[in-house]
C-alpha cells in the first residue's frame, strides 16, 4: 500500500470517529430518557404515537414479553411486505405498470428486508413499483434497524440493572430509535445526497435516444430517501440493480464518502452509547478498539490485494512467472469513478457492517480480497456490524472472552460487575453457533443437489465460493453477493430466505435470555482478582478469541473456496 491509500483510509477513520463520539452521547440520552436538544420537536410527537398505539411508555417488560413483542412485530411486518408485493400490480404509484412479484421472490424479499439483510434476487427498477419501494422496502429499512437497536439497548440494561425483572419496553425503544435517531439523520443525509445529484421524484421512466439512435429507458424514482436509510440503517438494498455503483444513487466522490461514513456511523456510535449507559466510557472505547483493529486489518489486506491484482497478468499479457504485479491493479468489476482504493475500502466496510451496499462486483475481487469479505461476515458481523446487531453480537463474544479468562485463573468470570455463569455461557454459545450451522449446513446441501449446483456460472473453487458467500451473506444478514450465482430460483429464494430468518431471529432469543438473567443479578464489587475489561490486555484477548473461533469454525470451508482459488492462481491456473 502506498501513502495515498493509507491517507484515504486514515482520513475516513478519523472523520468517522469525530462523528460517532457526539452521536453516541446523544443516543445514550435518547435511550435513558434524558433531555436532548430535539425535545421540543420530538417529545410531543412521541407521546402522540404512544397514544395512537395504546402503548404505556412507563410499563416495563420482562425479557420474555420483550422478545415476544419483537418477534410478533417482525412477523406482522414481514406478512405485510409479502402481501404488498403480491398485489402491487393493482396499486397506485406504479407508472411503469410493473406486475406483481412471484411468490418465492416475494417471500425472499420480505424475509430479506424484515431481517435487515436486504438481499436482492431481483433488479429493483424493473421489479418493484414506487409504492412497494416506499411503503414496503423503505419502511422496513427503518423498523428492521430499530429492532436491532432495541435488542442492543435491552442487553445493555441487563448489565446495568441490579436484581430487576424487566429490561425496558420494546415499543418505546422501537419508537425512540426510529423517531429520534434514524429519521433526523436520514433527513439530513437525503438532503446532502440530493445536493450531489441523487434523484428524488415520482416521475415515469424517461425514454431517450442514444447517439446510435437506439432507445434507452432511464429509470426514475424516490431514490435519495431510500438511499439515506439504506446506509444509516445498515440495510444495503439498492433502488437500482447496480446499487451504489449507479450514478443516480452515488454520483460523486463526496457522496461516496458520505455513504461509507453512514454505514459505520450508528454502529460506531453504539459503542460509545454502551460506555455511557454502563457508566464507564472506557468499556465503550475498548469495544471500539477491537472493532477498529479488525476493520483496519481487513481493509488493509483487501486494498493491497486489489491493488496487486492478478500476478499472471503483465503488460505483455500472461506472465511466464507469477512474480510481477498486474499493471494498474485489479479493475475488473469496479466503478471507474471511484477506483481501486475506494472500491476495496467500500467492500471492507459493507461486509464488516451487515450492509450489503456495493460499488463494485465482489464476484470480481481477487481470491484474497473475496476471502476478506467472506471472513468479515463469518466472524458474525461483529466488526461494527448492523444497527444494534453489531454491538449485541460483540458483547456476546466479550462474555465468552471473560469466561475464558476466568478459566485461566480459576476464578468465576465477571463482566461489568455481573458474574458470568453456566446459564449465560450456554445461551452465548447457542447464539454464536447458529451462524455456522446455517451457513455451512445450507452450503453443504446446495453444493450437492442439482437445484443448488445448477445456479453456478463459474467452475471449480470460485463456484463453491459463490454458494458459500450467498448463504454466509444471508445468515449474517449482510445482503451482498458473489453475483455469478443464479439465485432467483425457487430453491435459492426459499433457502436463502430461511437462512436470513434463522440468522436474524434465532440468535436474538438466547441474547434476550442473557439480558434477563443479567438484569436479575446483584452487582459484584471490584477487587484485586477482577479481570479488567477496559485495557489493552482485554482488547487483545477479545480480538484473539474472535479470530481463533472464526478460524477453527470456517477454515475447512474457506480452504475449499477462496484459499484454494488463490493457490491455483499463484500456480498459473485461470478459469
- The string of DSSP letters for 378-413 reads HTTS-SS-STTHHHHHHHHHHHHHHHHHHHHHTS--
Cross-strand partners of 360: 334
pLDDT for 218:
92
Which residue in 479, 449, 485 sits closest to 466, CA to CA? 485
Q: Are 265 and 20 in contact (CB under 8 A)?
A: yes
Cross-strand partners of 82: none
Calculate the CA 12 to chain-centre distance: 18
pLDDT for 527:
79
Calculate the CA 41 to chain-centre distance: 30
Element of type H or E holding 288: helix 281-308
For 439-465, the DSSP string reads HHHHHHHHTTSHHHHTTB-S-HHHHHH
pLDDT for 320:
45
Rounded Cα distance, 396 and 64, in Å = 19
Q: Are 133 and 226 in contact (CB under 8 A)?
A: yes
Q: Are 554 and 366 in contact (CB under 8 A)?
A: no
Rounded Cα distance, 168 and 178, in Å = 16
Q: Are 161 and 134 in contact (CB under 8 A)?
A: no
What are the cell numbers at 263? 454505514
Which residue in 28, 477, 543, 534 sits closest to 292, CA to CA? 543
Read off the DSSP letter of residue 520. Answer: T
Rounded Cα distance, 487 and 375, in Å = 21
**What is the DSSP pairing of strand 215-218 with strand 313-314?**
unpaired
The contacts of residue 310 (CB under 8 Å, 6+ apart) are 326, 330, 366, 569, 574
What are the cell numbers at 191? 438532503
In 72-152, the DSSP E strands lie at: none
In the numeric block, the cell 397506485 is attached to 92
What are the cell numbers at 352? 464488516
Helix, strand, coil distribution of the chain in percent, nearest 5: 65, 5, 30
Cα diameter, the chain: 80
Rounded Cα distance, 333 and 320, in Å = 25
Calculate the CA 453 to chain-centre distance: 27
pLDDT for 376:
94
pLDDT tens digits, the chain, 575 residues: what are they? 788 889 999 999 999 999 999 999 999 999 999 999 999 999 999 999 999 989 999 999 999 999 999 999 999 999 999 999 999 999 999 999 999 999 999 999 999 999 999 999 888 889 999 999 999 999 999 999 999 999 999 999 999 999 999 999 999 999 999 999 999 999 999 999 999 999 999 999 999 988 888 899 899 999 999 999 999 999 988 899 899 999 999 999 999 999 999 999 999 999 999 999 999 999 999 999 999 999 999 999 999 999 988 887 764 455 444 444 677 788 888 988 898 999 999 999 999 998 989 999 999 999 999 999 999 999 988 999 999 999 999 999 999 999 999 888 777 789 999 999 999 999 999 999 999 999 999 999 999 999 999 989 888 899 999 999 999 999 999 999 888 888 899 999 999 999 999 999 999 999 999 999 999 999 888 877 788 899 999 999 999 999 999 999 999 999 999 999 999 888 877 66
pLDDT for 322:
45
At 536 the three-state DSSP class reads helix
The pTM (predicted TM-score) of the whole model is: 0.93
What are the cell numbers at 342? 475506494
Cross-strand partners of 183: none
Which residue in 291, 289, 226, 288 sits closest to 262, CA to CA? 226
Q: Are 5 and 307 in contact (CB under 8 A)?
A: yes
Rounded Cα distance, 289 and 540, in Å = 10
In this structure, the number of other CB atoms found within 10 A of the CB of residue 376 comes to 32
Which residue in 393, 375, 181 sits closest to 287, CA to CA? 393
Rounded Cα distance, 300 and 349, in Å = 11
Which phi and psi (to 5°) does residue 414 adopt? -135, 145
Read off the DSSP letter of residue 317. Answer: E
Amino acid at each position: 500500500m502506498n501513502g495515498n491509500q493509507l491517507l484515504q483510509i486514515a482520513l475516513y477513520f478519523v472523520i468517522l470517529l469525530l462523528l460517532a463520539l457526539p452521536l453516541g452521547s446523544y443516543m445514550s440520552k435518547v435511550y435513558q430518557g434524558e433531555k436532548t436538544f430535539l425535545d421540543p420537536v420530538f417529545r410531543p410527537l412521541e407521546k402522540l404515537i404512544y397514544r395512537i398505539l395504546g402503548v404505556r411508555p412507563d410499563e416495563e417488560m420482562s425479557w420474555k414479553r420483550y422478545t415476544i413483542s419483537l418477534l410478533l412485530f417482525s412477523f406482522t411486518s414481514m406478512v405485510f411486505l409479502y402481501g404488498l408485493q403480491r398485489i402491487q400490480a393493482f396499486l397506485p404509484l406504479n407508472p411503469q405498470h410493473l406486475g406483481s412479484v412471484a411468490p418465492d421472490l416475494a417471500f425472499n424479499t420480505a424475509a430479506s428486508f424484515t431481517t435487515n439483510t436486504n438481499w436482492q434476487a431481483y433488479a429493483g427498477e424493473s421489479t418493484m413499483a414506487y409504492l412497494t419501494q416506499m411503503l414496503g422496502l423503505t419502511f422496513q429499512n427503518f423498523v428492521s434497524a430499530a429492532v436491532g437497536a432495541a435488542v442492543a439497548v435491552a442487553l445493555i440494561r441487563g448489565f446495568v440493572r441490579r436484581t430487576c425483572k424487566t429490561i425496558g419496553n420494546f415499543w418505546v425503544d422501537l419508537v425512540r430509535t426510529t423517531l429520534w435517531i434514524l429519521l433526523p439523520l436520514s433527513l439530513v443525509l437525503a438532503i446532502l445526497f440530493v445536493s450531489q445529484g441523487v434523484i428524488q421524484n415520482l416521475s415515469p421512466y424517461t425514454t431517450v435516444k442514444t447517439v446510435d439512435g437506439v432507445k434507452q429507458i432511464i429509470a426514475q424514482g424516490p431514490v435519495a430517501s431510500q438511499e439515506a436509510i439504506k446506509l444509516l440503517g445498515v440495510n444495503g438494498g439498492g433502488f437500482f440493480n447496480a446499487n451504489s455503483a449507479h450514478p443516480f444513487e452515488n454520483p460523486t466522490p463526496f457522496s461516496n464518502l458520505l455513504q461509507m461514513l453512514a454505514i459505520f456511523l450508528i454502529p460506531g456510535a453504539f459503542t460509545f452509547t454502551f460506555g455511557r449507559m454502563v457508566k464507564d466510557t472506557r468499556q465503550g472505547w475498548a469495544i471500539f478498539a477491537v472493532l477498529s483493529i479488525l476493520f483496519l486489518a481487513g481493509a488493509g489486506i483487501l486494498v493491497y490485494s486489489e491493488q496487486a491484482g492478478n500476478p499472471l497478468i503483465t503488460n505483455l499479457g500472461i506472465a511466464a512467472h507469477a512474480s510481477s504485479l498486474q499493471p494498474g491493479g485489479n479493475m475488473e468489476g469496479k466503478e471507474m469513478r471511484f477506483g481501486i482504493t475506494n472500491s476495496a475500502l467500500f467492500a471492507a466496510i459493507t461486509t464488516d457492517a451487515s450492509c450489503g451496499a456495493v460499488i463494485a462486483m465482489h464476484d470480481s475481487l481477487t481470491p484474497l480480497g473475496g476471502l476478506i469479505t467472506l471472513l468479515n461476515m463469518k466472524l458474525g458481523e461483529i466488526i461494527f456490524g448492523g444497527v444494534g446487531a453489531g454491538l449485541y453480537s460483540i458483547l456476546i463474544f466479550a462474555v465468552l472472552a471473560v469466561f475464558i479468562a476466568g478459566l485461566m485463573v480459576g476464578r468465576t468470570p465477571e463482566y461489568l460487575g455481573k458474574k458470568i455463569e453456566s446459564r449465560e455461557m450456554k445461551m452465548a454459545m447457542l447464539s454464536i453457533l447458529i451462524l455456522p450451522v446455517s451457513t455451512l449446513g445450507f452450503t453443504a446441501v446446495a453444493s450437492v443437489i442439482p437445484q443448488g449446483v445448477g445456479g453456478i456460472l463459474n467452475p471449480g473453487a470460485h463456484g463453491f465460493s459463490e454458494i458459500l458467500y450467498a448463504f454466509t451473506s444471508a445468515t449474517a444478514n449482510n445482503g451482498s453477493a458473489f453475483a455469478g450465482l443464479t439465485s432467483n430460483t425457487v430453491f435459492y429464494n426459499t433457502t436463502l430466505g430461511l437462512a436470513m430468518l434463522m440468522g436474524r431471529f434465532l440468535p436474538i432469543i438466547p441474547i434476550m435470555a442473557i439480558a434477563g438473567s443479567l438484569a436479575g443479578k446483584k452487582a459484584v464489587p471490584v477487587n484485586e482478582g477482577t479481570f479488567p475489561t477496559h485495557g489493552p490486555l482485554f482488547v487483545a484477548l477479545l480480538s484473539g478469541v474472535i479470530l481463533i473461533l472464526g478460524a477453527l469454525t470456517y477454515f475447512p470451508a474457506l480452504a475449499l473456496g477462496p484459499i484454494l482459488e488463490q493457490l491455483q492462481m499463484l500456480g498459473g491456473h485461470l478459469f
